């Protein structure tokens, strides 16, 4: 990013643009431009403190030093002359950041940039000078899969997604260029406390991703899906190795605030500059444009540990894609912040002596829920750490409030619901009448509502969601556990139904309810159950089903008889299975969600997050029985036995 200074311009502009503007009065900018002498740390600073430590160590006896693991050579006094002689310390002059990044790093204050469209991202990738390109589609685990960009492989161009056909090709070239895509679920540490538990969720995550992809999800393979956690370091080393071995251009694509810049820093292959004789060009020369390269300021990357690679005279600078920076062993990484839209323009950082480069792209528009929230509570919309949920009980006539402006109200009467919130928003359970008043900002109750004034008038119905997923085997406790009673779900008189309500960019709420088996809509019988081979014929006095075995004629035999005798014979259809017939209409439990403008809400099949993240209760310590008078009681019991 070039400095916003021209010849004849004053040192401080009156109306600077924060994004990309460099203040010449800042010391870091002056040192980078050579206008000020770099401040080199004095090695003699702190020698007085070292002398105090040295005197304290010398007063210890040899036995005490040996117990502490200290030797004579390890004392500070033995190395004092060596440290004092190293006064000429070389420091690398790192490029400064703009005023906007300076405010983000030190004051956590900045304005979000204008989010580009998918077509703008497609134009940027289309200007790639590399023959091999790979798109990393980043999806946030906090609201998975709401942060998925639908049909991204179609919008970005001819991206190959390998189908389930065994003859499908692994690689395809379009116009002397190959581009493929993989799905990366970021911040996976929000799902479960251990990496093994997240790894066990991969089949579930693939199925949810298939549902989100629509018709395409049923045709393609999903072997290119993986979870990572830059915060905990889960599976980042494998992804870093894959990026380096693949080479070419790696494009980080995703919606705003899904963790692109944070993952970029964790998986960028640092310190991988190879010798010059093993270097191979990764740029397709047919796509180079004869434009003059930008001059590199003096002092950039001039340290021995990060020697800059000589830049070619012709740099590919397109209309959307900026020029690449000089390659160093340990380059400066993009600014990481929880502000949506931190990255203002594509950031290209090469690695491996021209082997490839990694590109951090600006985030696509994700959600404008923060416009309905007070600025002081914007951080409450970002889940930064894993949540240990608390189950809230919603009795008939009650509702759940999230942050005071999102309401979940059960519709099914006479049924108790349980809700576990995996969001950083405060939860509050109250009657539905009071919840409506609090949400519409008309109540005088002392319940916090973090929405801006006037949001209550915009509250609308976001949708009705049915609890149609059976989680009885996971939630029945010791009744279905293999080390306990080992009962089958169809043997229980109840079923546990659930669904996950997603809040865009914030998190999810797991809602569940327990219903009687005879009131459950599906009432599916197991395959080994004797009722599976029966068909419904009538109804007995108690209202239960009476079944009789039906003999179904083989249609092939009927066709053979018709061909042999020449007569027309009606082929009888197969009997309908018993579990598909329902004598009376029954309904799933339903909940209603109300949000500002009726937006920002989705749903998915339940993940069982409460069982994975619930707080473990340690068993209470047993009180030791008092032994006072124990011998006296024992003697009295012996006497009583002898007297009998």
Of 313, 333, 360, which one is at a domain's C-terminal end?
A: 360
The pLDDT assigned to 495 comes to 93
Query: Would you say residue 490 lies in a domain?
Result: yes
Query: Would you say residue 623 lies in a domain?
Result: no
The pLDDT assigned to 222 comes to 92
pLDDT in tens, 339-383: 777 888 899 999 988 899 999 999 999 989 999 999 999 888 999
The pLDDT assigned to 46 comes to 58
Domain count, the chain: 4
Of 360, 390, 405, which one is at a domain's C-terminal end?
A: 360
| 46 shares its domain with 123 | no
Share of the chain above pLDDT 70, in %: 74
| 417 shares its domain with 283 | no
| Nearest of 138, 142, 139 to residue 509 by alpha carbon | 142
Query: Would you say residue 37 lies in a domain?
Result: no
List the single range of 196-210, 395-409, 478-492 with lowest mean pLDDT: 478-492
Query: Would you say residue 348 lies in a domain?
Result: yes
| 339 shares its domain with 475 | no
* 589: helix, strand or coil: coil
Cα separation, 503 vs 602, whole angstroms: 7
Peptide bond into 145 cis (omega under 30): yes
Query: Would you say residue 2 lies in a domain?
Result: no
Cα separation, 589 vs 257, whole angstroms: 34
Query: Would you say residue 32 lies in a domain?
Result: no
| 49 shares its domain with 171 | no
Strand partners, 7: none
| 158 shares its domain with 59 | no
Of 360, 381, 408, which one is at a domain's C-terminal end?
A: 360
pLDDT in tens, 173-228: 887 889 999 999 999 999 999 999 999 999 999 999 999 999 899 999 999 999 99
Structural domain harbouring 307: 112-360
* pLDDT tier for residue 47 given thresholds of 50, 70 and 90: low
| 216 shares its domain with 131 | yes
What residues contact residue 499 under an 8 Å CB cut-off, 6+ apart?
A: 465, 466, 467, 468, 469, 510, 511, 512, 591, 603, 604, 605, 606
Report residue 289 as tokens.
């444009």
* pLDDT tier for residue 626 given thresholds of 50, 70 and 90: confident
The pLDDT assigned to 374 comes to 94
The pLDDT assigned to 54 comes to 76
* pLDDT tier for residue 274 given thresholds of 50, 70 and 90: low
Q: What is the mean pLDDT of the chain?
A: 78
Query: Would you say residue 633 lies in a domain?
Result: no
* pLDDT tier for residue 292 given thresholds of 50, 70 and 90: very low
Cα separation, 323 vs 1, whole angstroms: 9
| 236 shares its domain with 330 | yes
| 215 shares its domain with 156 | yes
| 426 shares its domain with 296 | no
| 284 shares its domain with 396 | no
* pLDDT tier for residue 318 given thresholds of 50, 70 and 90: low
Give the start-end residues of each E strand in 314-412: 314-315, 347-351, 356-360, 391-394, 398-402, 406-410
Cα separation, 609 vs 199, whole angstroms: 14
pLDDT in tens, 18-36: 677 888 888 888 888 888 8
Tally of CB atoms within 10 A around 115: 16
| 463 shares its domain with 511 | yes
| 255 shares its domain with 333 | yes
pLDDT in tens, 59-77: 887 777 777 766 665 554 4
Cα torsion for 137, 138, 142, 148, to the nearest 10°? -30
The pLDDT assigned to 273 comes to 78
Query: Would you say residue 105 lies in a domain?
Result: no
Share of the chain above pLDDT 90, in %: 42
| Nearest of 330, 317, 270 to residue 290 by alpha carbon | 317
Average pLDDT over residues 146-163: 88
Cα separation, 90 vs 212, whole angstroms: 53
Report yes or no: 607 and 511 within 8 Å, Cβ to Cβ: no
């Amino acid at each position: 990013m070039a400095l916003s200074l021209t010849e004849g311009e004053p040192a401080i502009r009156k109306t600077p643009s924060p994004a990309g503007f460099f203040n010449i009065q800042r010391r870091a900018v002056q040192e980078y431009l050579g206008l000020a002498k770099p401040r080199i740390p004095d090695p003699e600073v702190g020698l007085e403190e070292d002398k105090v430590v040295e005197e304290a160590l010398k007063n210890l006896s040899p036995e005490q030093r040996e117990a502490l693991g200290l030797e004579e050579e390890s004392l500070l006094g033995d190395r004092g002359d060596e440290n004092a002689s190293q006064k000429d310390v070389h420091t690398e002059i790192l490029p400064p950041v703009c005023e906007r990044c300076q405010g983000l790093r030190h004051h956590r204050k900045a304005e979000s940039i204008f989010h580009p469209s998918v077509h703008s991202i497609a134009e940027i990738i289309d200007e790639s000078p590399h023959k091999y390109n790979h798109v990393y589609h980043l999806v946030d685990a906090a609201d998975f899969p709401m942060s998925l960009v639908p049909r991204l492989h179609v919008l970005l161009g001819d991206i190959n997604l390998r189908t389930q056909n065994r003859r499908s090709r692994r690689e395809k070239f379009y116009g002397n260029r190959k581009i493929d895509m993989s799905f990366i679920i970021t911040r996976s540490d929000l799902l479960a406390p251990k990496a093994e538990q997240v790894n066990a969720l991969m089949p579930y995550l693939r199925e949810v991703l298939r549902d989100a992809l629509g018709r395409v999800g049923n045709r393609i393979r999903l072997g290119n899906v993986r979870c990572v956690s830059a915060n905990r370091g889960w599976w980042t080393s494998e992804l870093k190795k894959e990026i380096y071995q693949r080479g070419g251009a790696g494009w980080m694509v995703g919606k705003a605030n899904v963790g692109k810049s944070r993952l970029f820093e964790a998986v960028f292959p640092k310190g991988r500059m190879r010798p010059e004789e093993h270097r191979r060009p990764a740029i397709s020369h047919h796509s180079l444009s004869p434009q003059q390269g930008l001059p590199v300021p003096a002092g950039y990357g001039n340290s021995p540990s990060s020697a800059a690679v000589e830049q070619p005279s012709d740099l590919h600078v397109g209309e959307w894609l900026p020029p690449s920076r000089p390659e160093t062993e340990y380059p400066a990484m993009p600014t990481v912040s929880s502000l949506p839209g931190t990255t203002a323009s594509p950031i290209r950082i090469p690695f491996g002596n021209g082997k490839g480069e990694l590109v951090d792209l600006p985030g696509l528009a994700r959600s404008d829920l923060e416009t309905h929230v007070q600025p002081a509570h914007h951080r409450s919309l970002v889940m930064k750490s894993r949540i240990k949920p608390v189950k809230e009980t919603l009795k008939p006539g009650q509702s759940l409030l999230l942050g005071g402006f999102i309401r979940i109200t059960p519709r099914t009467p006479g049924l108790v619901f349980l809700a576990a919130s995996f969001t950083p928003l405060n939860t509050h359970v109250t009657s539905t009448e009071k919840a409506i008043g609090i949400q519409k900002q008309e109540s005088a109750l002392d319940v916090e509502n973090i929405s801006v004034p006037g949001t209550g008038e915009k509250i609308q119905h976001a949708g009705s969601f049915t609890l149609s997923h059976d989680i009885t085997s996971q939630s029945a406790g010791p009744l279905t556990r293999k080390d306990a009673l080992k009962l089958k779900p169809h043997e229980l008189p109840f079923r546990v139904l659930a669904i996950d309500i997603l809040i865009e960019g914030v998190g999810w709420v797991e809602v569940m309810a327990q219903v009687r088996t005879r009131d459950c809509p599906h009432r599916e019988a197991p395959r080994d159950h004797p009722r599976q081979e029966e068909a419904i014929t009538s109804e007995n006095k108690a209202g239960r089903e009476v079944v009789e075995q039906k003999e179904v004629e083989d249609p092939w035999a009927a066709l053979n008889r018709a061909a042999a005798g020449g007569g027309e014979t009606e082929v009888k259809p197969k009997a309908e299975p018993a579990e598909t017939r329902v004598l009376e209409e029954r309904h799933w439990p339903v909940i209603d969600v109300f949000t500002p403008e009726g937006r920002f809400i989705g749903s998915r099949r339940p993940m069982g997050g409460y069982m994975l993240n619930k707080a473990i209760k340690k068993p209470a310590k047993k009180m030791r029985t008092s032994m006072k008078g124990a011998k006296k009681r024992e003697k009295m019991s012996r006497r009583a036995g002898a007297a009998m």
